[in-house]
Amino acid sequence: MSSSSTRGTTVSDPPDTAEVQQDDVEAIADLELRRAEAEAAAAEALALAAQLRARELRLQASADDSPAGADARNEGDDTATEIDGSAGDPDAEANELGRGRTKRRLTIRLRAHRSARQSIKRICVILVAALTCGLVGASVWMVVQHRNMLSQQRTAAEFSAAARQAVITLMSMNYQQAKQDVQRVIDDATGDFRADFAAHADDFTKVVETSKVVTTAAVNVSAVQSMTPNSAVVLVAATSEVTNAGGADKAPRTWRLIVTITRDSGQMKMSKVEFVP
């Protein structure tokens, strides 16, 4: 700065215009910067609120498809209202959104837990029903098998008894009633054996009457070797005593026979007999 003396008076130089303008520019620039920062912060808050609102809408849309859709939708509406009311406060919006999401998660987990328990109950019911059906089926099968076994035992006993009676009839003869004894054998026979025996009945009767044969027989044991519903092969062990005009004593003789019994018109008759040495 320079000074000059005019008429004895000292006058100061005016301020530098460039310096004043520079200070004003800097002040204005600082104000513009602060205003820009404030606008950026406000825009960021609005953007955050918009993002939160969009996320809330997506969650609400996905929750509508789940079993808890109604609850989630109601909670979403409440949360959306709260977000709209506090759009100016990002922290409050974040807190409210966090609480809403927590509630929805808890609701979904609770419903999932209930659904899992119901599924377990259904599985248990199905298993119990299957086990019950299995036990019932096994019981029915056992009853059927038991009945079949009893039926087979009863049928075997019938075939065995028929074979015992057929052997006694065949081996018991008395010359005094030879014709009746021979006819009884024919009546209790069937098939080829009956045809063969009937063809030689007269000759057999004459031999018994001429020799004055008297035979008695007793069955010691019998057992079914094989069996079908209509026939059976029976093993028979028998003992007989014979007397005749030739002086035969009553010494017992043991016989082993294989007898085939066949059903004929509802009756069990002898269809084949073999003497085993």
Residues 177 and 80 in one domain: no
**For the segment 155-205, what is each residue's pLDDT rounded down to a tens digit?**
999 999 999 999 999 999 999 999 999 999 999 999 999 999 999 999 999
User: Is 145 contained in some domain?
Assistant: no
* Domain count along the chain: 2
Residues 168 and 56 in one domain: no
Q: Out of 22-31, 53-62, 71-80, 219-228, give the one with best mean pLDDT.
A: 219-228
With 0-12 CB in 10 A as exposed, 13-18 as middle and 19+ as buried, what is 211?
Answer: middle
User: Is 31 contained in some domain?
Assistant: yes
- 165: domain CATH number is 3.10.450.230
Residues 171 and 82 in one domain: no
User: Is 141 contained in some domain?
Assistant: no
| For range 248-274, the mean pLDDT | 91
- For 7-17, give one letter per residue: b (16+ CB within 10 A) or e: eeeeeeeeeee
- Max intra-chain CA distance, the chain: 206
User: Is 108 contained in some domain?
Assistant: no
| For range 73-95, the mean pLDDT | 52
Indicate whether 85 pLDDT > 60. no
DSSP secondary structure code for residue 189 in this structure? B
Question: Which residue do the tokens 């966090």 mark?
Answer: 98
- For 133-168, give one letter per residue: b (16+ CB within 10 A) or e: eeeeeeeeeeeeeeeeeeeeeebeeebbebbbebbb
| Residue numbers of the domain that contains 82 | 17-88
Indicate whether 261 pLDDT > 90. yes
Per-residue confidence (pLDDT) for residue 10, from 0 to 100: 43
Query: What CA dihedral angle connects 252, 253, 259 and 263, to 10 degrees?
Result: -20
User: Is 94 contained in some domain?
Assistant: no
User: Is 7 contained in some domain?
Assistant: no
